[in-house]
Copies of this chain bind each other. A is one copy, B any other.
Amino acid sequence: MKRQITKDNLLELLLHGTPKDLQDTIDTIHPADILDLIHEDPEHAKAVLNRLPDDILADIVEEEEDEDKYEILKQFSDNRQRNILDEMSSDEITDLIGELEEDEAENILNKMDVDDRDDVKKLLEFEPDSAGGIMTTEYIRIFAKNTVKDTLEFLQKNTDEETTYYLYVVDKNDVLKGVVSLRDIVTSPFDTPMLSITNPNVITIQYDEDQEQVAHKFEKYGFILMPVVDEENHMLGVIEFDDIMDVIQEENTEDIHHLGGVNKEERVDSTLKESFQSRIPWLIVNLFTAVLAAATVSMFETTISKVVALATVMPIVTGMGGNAGTQSLTIVVRGLSLGELTKENAMKILLKELGVGILSGIVIGSVVALGAMWMESNPIFGLVTGIAMFLNMILANLAGYFIPVILEKCHVDPALASGVFVTTVTDVMGFFLFLGLATMVLPFII
């Protein structure tokens, strides 16, 4: 058995192990752990990288964040770069090139052999967020006329391809005809004809499907690998589950960021400039909302000047409406993302949101009414506060339902803009209802 390596003696092996020791052991270490070590110990990084074989370097470049892949690659001579690129998968090279300036990209493409270059050029033409943009062209095609033993012998001779979990049966025009899982191959007797373990009912992905849709399919079926095809069922590539894990996290980050009013690209370790540019546009949009709400208040300045307590209570009415609206839109936006809000249950969910609005309106409205009544020793003041609160809670929940649903219909990301619209409704209507009602009953609350 190969040598056991702990975290403590890994650096020792990488820096000072004999070439034979290194060669024997290196493929038992996950490249992500070597990459960690390089990040944690930058002074030894160059020495470590220089001692690694090309295929491991290719793995490490693939593990690295897209925007930093080139940093590692460009440390090597042109010749070495050629060898590393040769070991990398086409989707990873596409991701790398996607981050580069035009001349650097050209430079990388020129270092690739003709077939690989053609693959990458094709991949670069797909939308980066579509199935074509995340697939790789490395997968195993077979013809189904052989036995299991023949296939095993074929695989033993073709150890290059990484994505061996399923083998795809194609005809001579590359039209996808079936799939065989590696599990079936290893659990079937050697003389089993491949045809009898080939599944013709392949679940495929169209090259132009959005990556979020692709992620839903992986979640539904739990496959490790799914084939990407064109309209005529020609096999174009495969998508691996680990790329889909990244997609899921990316889509979730996008939703969370949009709900919080920041750009999807911002990261906690973005620079001051990036963060400021991510946030200031949303603050300016929100400023319009705030001014609209303030304009509503200013219509009632005469009323407020007569009953100053209105100024004390009014932020409660709008604030609580905003909270209820945010709750409602959070559930609706997440339901849309997960595909759980559908045409079939839309009406039921709308009625439920209305119901929650009425119930919360009764509870919060009553509490607020009693508080306001006690504060001003005036039942009419309490009643006005309670009614405005009750109505604003209902409006909040309706806005929290309708705004994301309508945005989704208009193909705008509901996570992106719902928050601003919902708080506009709850602020403007909250002030208007509360101060309007107060104005109507002014003689009784002065």
Contacts and interface: CB of A to CB of B under 8 A. Distances in A.
Interface in A355-371: 355-356, 359-360, 363-364, 367-368, 371
B253 A338 contact: yes
A88 B275 CA distance: 49
Interface in A234-266: 241-242, 244-246, 248-249, 252-253, 255-257, 259-262, 266
| Size category, A interface | 35 or more
A2 B253 contact: no
Interface stretch (A50-58, A105-113, A131-139, A214-222): A214-222
Contact of A256 (B218, B255, B349): B255
Interface in A192-220: 195-196, 198-201, 203, 218-220
Interface stretch (A66-74, A79-87, A120-128, A296-304): A296-304
Contacts of A316: 287, 290-291, 293-294
Interface string A126-153: 0000000000000000001000000010
A164 B185 contact: no
Nearest to A261: B327
Interface stretch (A89-97, A307-315, A406-414, A437-445): A307-315
Nearest to A435: B311
A267 interface: yes
A69 to B, nearest CB: 16
A375 to B, nearest CB: 8
B329 A260 contact: yes
Contacts of A312: 294, 297-298, 301
A279 interface: yes
Given A199-B28, A262-B327, A269-B340, A164 B189 contact: no
A319 interface: yes
Nearest to A303: B308
A339 to B, nearest CB: 10
Contacts of A336: 268
A324 B262 CA distance: 10
Contacts of A152: 152, 186, 190
A295 to B, nearest CB: 8
Contacts of A291: 316, 371
A272 interface: yes
Given A219-B246, A253-B334, A260-B326, 16 more contacts: A5-B201, A30-B201, A182-B186, A241-B245, A248-B252, A249-B252, A249-B338, A252-B252, A252-B256, A257-B334, A261-B330, A266-B331, A268-B331, A268-B335, A308-B311, A311-B311
5 contacts: A245-B245, A256-B330, A257-B330, A268-B338, A276-B359
User: Lowest 5 A-B CB distances belong to which pairs?
Assistant: A260-B330, A268-B335, A222-B242, A311-B311, A252-B252
